[in-house]
Each structure stands twice: as C-alpha cells, then as structure tokens.
Structure 1
C-alpha cells in the first residue's frame, strides 16, 4: 500500500500561478492508494473546491474523503484526503480542531483499502513550537479514543518541524519513534524535513522517500513524501460501517 503527503500551496506553482492541474499530475506520477493534502482549501471559502472531483478521478484515479462536519466540502481546515476507489470506511471520518493563529486541524478516519484496517490522521500543524506541542498532544489523545483504539495508525502531514526531538516530534517520539530526515522544503532546493509520514506500531512504515521530479519542483513550494506501508501489520479485515 503506497501512501503520500503533499502540501500543495493552495494550488499555486513556483511562479505563484493557480495551477491545480500540475498538482494532479504530480499525484498521478506518485500513483498512491491514499494521499493527504495540505493547503488544499481556501480558509475563507472552504466550500469552493480546488479540484473538480470527476476531473480529479480521471487524472489520478482518486476520490476525496468526505468529512461529516463539512458536508459538500472536499476536506477539513485545508486538509483533503484522496483515496483509491473501493476504500471502505470502518468508522465515519471526522475533523479535529487544533487551534492556532490559522485554523489548523486534522482529519481522522478508520479505513481499509483492501489490505486491512488502520487509522489515518492527516494534519497540518502551526508555525509556533509551543502550539505544535499542544496540537501533538491532541493528536495522541484522538488516537487513544477512536472506535478501535488499538488499530495501526498512520500520521501524515506538514508538521512545520524539522528538528528531531523538538515540539511535535518530541511529543510523538515515544509512540512513533524518531523519523529519518526527508527534506521536502523548499521544493526548488529541499533542505528542511517539514513533512512527515509516521506509523505505529514500529515497522509499519519502513522507508519514507521524497518524490523529487522536475514537475514536483515546479508545482508547489513543498515536495511530496511517499511511503510503502507494511500491510502485514494492518488489522484483519472487518465489516465496513
């Protein structure tokens, strides 16, 4: 199972032009089963989708995960999750408010993409280190209180933290370990590992790679990350909800 995370910079390319078609082409290059997007909605116009869902499905084969609190919108607080066809919900997805100067949040879902059940947390965290620590604690709390609190868990998103052991990475380290560096920002000369794919239990995400192509360097100010999930560690398949 291939998963990815991608801050798409509100669909604006390196020149500042609104080009969501380039974002879709990068996603098509990756060919993920699931991808978490950040900055994929406008804060003040969340009901105005960045992507036409039918066009996106033709370009990438993926479909937006609808969040219950935002009926009619493609995501939650700038986060959009795209899934392969046939994905099953094991519990209704919902949004988690994380606060901050900008309306940060996370999408929580319990899914089965055909290999077994897992919990997804897709998020975009704040710029301030103190706020990121609080947000990380809220993510851990949500992880412990799901319908199936023992499910394997994937956390994908833009953490805005590159220093091992600091802020969000320090809070999550006892559960998810220390992620290896994967520089994804800025896209034209990636130096900072702001974007992360974490897995629990240990070994769920053996390797994380940066998707660094000519198109990806032009499409957004971040490069995408991608990872193969060890499906042997996913929960046995269960009936969908």
Structure 2
C-alpha cells in the first residue's frame, strides 16, 4: 500500500493563484491508501474546507478523518489526514498542540488498514530549529504515553529540516533511524528534503521517493513524498 505526505501550500502553486483542484489531481496520480496533508487550510477562510472531501471519497476511496466538530474545519492546525475508505479507526483521531507562533500541531490516530494495528502521526513542524527540537520531543512523548498499546508507528509530514542529525531529525533518528529522504522542495527544482516518512520499526516502509510529475511541480511549492507500507508487517 502506498502512503504519502504532501505540503499543499494552501492550494497555491509556487507562484500563482489558488488552484485546489490541482492538489486533488496530484492525489489522484498517487492513489495512496493514506495521505497526510499540511497547509491544508485557508488563512482567511478558516470556516471553509479547502478540498472536496466528498469527491475524494467517491472517486479515490479516501475519507477524511475529522479531528474537531467545528463547521468547515477539515483538519487540525492545517494538518489533514485521508485514509482508505475501509480503514478501521481504533482510537482517535486527536489533535496534538506543538506550540510555536505559527502555531503548529499534529494528528495522532490508531488505525487498522487491513493488516493490523498501526499508529499514525501526521505533523508540520516549525521554522525555528530550537522549536523543532521541542516539537520532536513532544511527538515522542505522545508515543510513549500510549506505550501500553505497543504497535508499529508511522510518522510523516513536513519537518522543515534537511540536515541529518540536526534539530528535530536529531531527536527522531534515535527511534526512527535515517531512512531514504529524497528532496521535495522547492517543487520546481527539488534539492531540500524537508518532508519525511519515518517508521518504527524502520522496515515498515520501503521505496521512499518524491512524486515528481508535471502536475505536481505546478500544484504546490513541495512535491509529495510517498512510500510503500509493508502489507504483511515489517520485514515480511
């Protein structure tokens, strides 16, 4: 099964007008079983959903996991998580506050995608290195708080860090290791690996790559990152 993460730049290309239909087109190209989106909320129209959730479910079989009950708010602090229609929610989803002036957050949910329990954390970290360190530590603490229910964990999103062992990556690598991290930013000339798909155990994901197509280069300032999730458990 393909999983993916995608900073959709609030529905805008690197330079241009609001075009959310391009984002939906890129998701259709990927055909993921699970995808985390960042910057998926309008700055000025917070009561208006950015994507056509009904069409995504009808045409791609992806359903939106609602974190809040506020009208028009599709995700949590601009994070949004879509999963295959038949996925079973075991716990959550819940929103995690990560602080920062932006502000940043994460979505935590426990799912069964058809192959057993899986914990998923979708996040977007801050621009400041020290704040990213604190946010990464908070994510690990959220994992530890649910350690009484051990299960494989998928952590994915825009970490705003590309340097191995620095800030958030230095904290997270202790648990998740350092899997492949192809560049995804900026979309028109990708050379920075800001987006990551991490797993515990690391063998849970393979074939990590950027989704680099003409449409993806026009749709957002990031390319999506995608990976294969082991269908029969890590290492099998």
The 2-side partners of 1:225 and 1:62 are apart by 17
In 2, are the aligned partners of 1:184 and 1:195 still within 8 Å (CA)?
yes
Task: Tell me the number of residue pairs that the alignment of Structure 1 and Structure 2 aligns.
Answer: 234
Equivalent residue number for residue 144 of structure 2: 144
Look up the match of 1:74: 74
| Superposed counterparts of 1:143-222, under 5 Å | 143-146=143-146, 149-222=149-222
Q: Secondary structure at the match of 2:105?
A: strand
- Is the Cα–Cα contact under 8 Å of residues 109 and 121 in structure 1 kept in the other structure? yes
Q: Structure 1 209/163 Cα, relative in aligned 2: closer, same or farther at 3 Å?
A: same
Q: Following the alignment from structure 2 to structure 1, what is the Cα–Cα distance between the partners of residues 154 and 77? A: 19
- C-alpha contact (below 8 Å) 2:68/2:76 kept by paired residues: no
Can you give the 5+ residue segments of structure 2 that lack an aligned partner in the other structure? none
- TM-score, normalised to structure 1, is 0.92
> Alpha carbons of 1:18 and 1:204: their partners in 2 closer, same or farther (altered >3 Å)?
same
User: TM-score, normalised on structure 2?
Assistant: 0.94
CA distance in 2, matches of 1:136, 1:174: 11
Contact 2:95 2:105 in 1 (8 A): yes
RMSD: 1.6
In structure 2, distance between residues paired with 1:121 and 1:46: 23
- Between the aligned partners of 1:13 and 1:5, the Cα distance in structure 2 is 17
Q: Is the 8 A contact 1:43 1:103 kept in 2?
A: no
- Superposed displacement of residue 68, structure 1: 4.1
Which residue number in structure 2 is paired with residue 40 of structure 1? 40
Find the aligned partners of 2:71 and 2:50 in 1 and give their Cα distance: 16
Give the whole-Å Cα distance in 2 for the aligned partners of 1:32 and 1:105: 23
Q: Report the Cα offset of residue 152 of structure 1.
A: 0.3
Task: Report the counterpart of residue 238 of structure 1 in structure 2.
Answer: none
Question: How many Å apart are 1:170 and its aligned residue?
Answer: 0.3
